[in-house]
Each structure stands twice: as structure tokens, then as C-alpha cells.
């Protein structure tokens, strides 16, 4: 029997906090419950069809990486074990199992922290147009997908559903946050990238 993709969740006893491009978020006491659906988002647009089990895979990947980088930066995870969730969640346990996280509430920094080790994607387009990515001037003559001598931090806006993320300069990011927060984000993001890149390089 063909499995259907879970595109929306409906848990009447839980308070819906927000729906993102992929995740549905519920408020549970002083915590948030993040539920990964099977919705598919590409180019900041939600597609009509989802991919069965995508949300489960996404949750497992997130769980792995949060654990992998916890020595660099603390995270918001309380538990991914449904059996440890508050009592009010228990009747939805099977729908939540393997596709949800109970997390602490945190203040969102409204920028995306991106590190580029190679010149591709929107960075390649910006480079061709301006010779820069996120305000960082780069050498002439770079080829698409060429590796940088050192990874670069290129923040972007965090767009609402239906809008597009845009690469921004360090100065623009500091206007959104502040200099101290920006430096912490930049330093942590580069450390995360370098640790993850070293891990991935071993795997081919």
C-alpha cells in the first residue's frame, strides 16, 4: 500500500503556534513542539505534493547535527522521545513519533547564517553581477563551484513564506542584530562549518 505524505497536522488539544514552510509548531506549557511534516519547499515556495516520510528523515538529521555541534553552541532541544513529552501530547504519540521535537522557547535572530566553502548557487550569481558575495570582494576569474581558500560567512535575510531570502552584508546583518551578536553568530557558524566539513570529507 502506498504511503501518503503528511502535509498538515491537526492536534485539537494542542495550541497551534505557527506553520512554517515544512514544520508545524505547537505551544505546550512553556515549551514548543516542532513537528516536521512531509511538505516540500523549494525556492521558498511550498509544493502541492509532499514526500512520504520526509519529516521523519528531517527530524533524524536535525537530531544528529544538533548533537554533533553541541560542544560549539548550545541548542534548544529538550527531548525527541515522545514518551517523555507532557501528558497532553500522549494521545497524539503515534503521529508525533520520529517526526517531532520538544524544545525550549528562544528568541529568533532574523537572519540566516550561511557559510560558503565553494562558489555556487545565489553566491555565484551575485559574484557574476558584482564581484562580491554579501559585500565580500572576491578575486577575479573564479569558476563556478570552485573551492574558496578559506570558507566565507555570507548571511541572508530570513524571508516569510512566499518571499525570497536575500544575501546581505555584515553591516546590514549588524543593523538587524548588533555587532556583538553578529560576531558570536559568525564565529560559531564558521566553527560549525569547519567541523561538519571535516566530518563529511571523511565520508566521501
Q: Domains, the chain, ranges and CATH? A: 15-104 (3.30.200.20), 111-202 (3.30.470.20)
pLDDT band at residue 34 under the 50/70/90 scheme: very high
Q: What is the pLDDT of residue 3?
A: 74
Q: Which residues contact 100 (CB under 8 A, 6 or more apart)?
A: 33, 34, 35, 36, 59, 80, 82
Q: What is the pLDDT of residue 1?
A: 44
- Segment 39-58 shows an average pLDDT of 91
DSSP reduced 3-state for 43: coil
Indicate the Cα dihedral angle 182, 188, 191, 196, nearest 10°. -120
**Is residue 138 within 8 Å of residue 119, measured between CB atoms?**
yes
Average pLDDT, the chain: 94
pLDDT digits (tens, 9 = 90+) for 107-146: 989 999 999 999 999 999 999 999 999 999 999 999 999 9
Which is more confident, 29 or 162? 29
Under DSSP, the state recorded for 167 is B
Percent of the chain with pLDDT over 70: 96
- Please determine, for residue 178, whether its predicted confidence score (pLDDT) is greater than 90: yes
Phi, psi torsion values for 187, nearest 5 degrees? -65, -45
- Please determine, for residue 46, whether its predicted confidence score (pLDDT) is greater than 50: yes
pTM of the model: 0.83
CB atoms within 10 A of CB 99: 24
Amino acid at each position: 500500500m502506498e504511503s501518503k505524505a503528511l502535509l498538515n497536522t491537526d492536534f485539537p488539544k494542542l495550541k497551534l503556534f505557527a506553520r512554517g514552510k515544512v514544520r508545524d509548531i505547537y505551544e505546550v506549557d512553556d515549551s514548543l513542539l516542532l513537528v516536521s511534516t512531509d511538505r516540500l519547499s523549494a525556492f521558498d515556495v511550498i509544493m502541492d505534493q509532499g514526500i512520504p516520510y520526509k519529516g521523519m528523515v528531517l527530524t533524524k538529521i536535525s537530531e544528529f547535527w544538533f548533537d554533533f555541534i553541541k560542544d560549539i553552541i548550545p541548542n534548544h532541544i529538550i527531548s525527541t522521545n515522545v514518551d517523555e513529552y507532557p501528558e497532553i501530547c500522549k494521545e497524539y504519540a503515534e503521529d508525533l513519533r520520529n517526526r517531532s521535537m520538544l524544545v525550549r522557547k528562544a528568541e529568533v535572530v532574523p537572519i540566516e547564517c550561511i557559510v560558503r566553502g565553494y562558489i555556487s548557487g545565489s553566491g555565484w550569481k551575485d559574484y557574476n553581477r558584482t564581484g562580491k558575495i554579501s559585500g565580500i570582494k572576491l578575486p577575479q576569474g573564479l569558476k563556478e563551484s570552485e573551492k574558496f581558500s578559506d570558507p566565507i560567512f555570507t548571511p541572508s535575510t530570513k524571508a516569510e513564506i512566499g518571499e525570497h531570502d536575500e544575501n546581505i552584508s555584515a553591516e546590514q546583518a549588524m543593523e538587524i542584530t548588533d555587532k556583538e551578536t553578529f560576531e558570536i553568530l559568525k564565529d560559531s557558524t564558521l566553527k560549525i562549518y569547519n567541523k561538519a566539513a571535516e566530518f563529511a570529507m571523511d565520508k566521501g
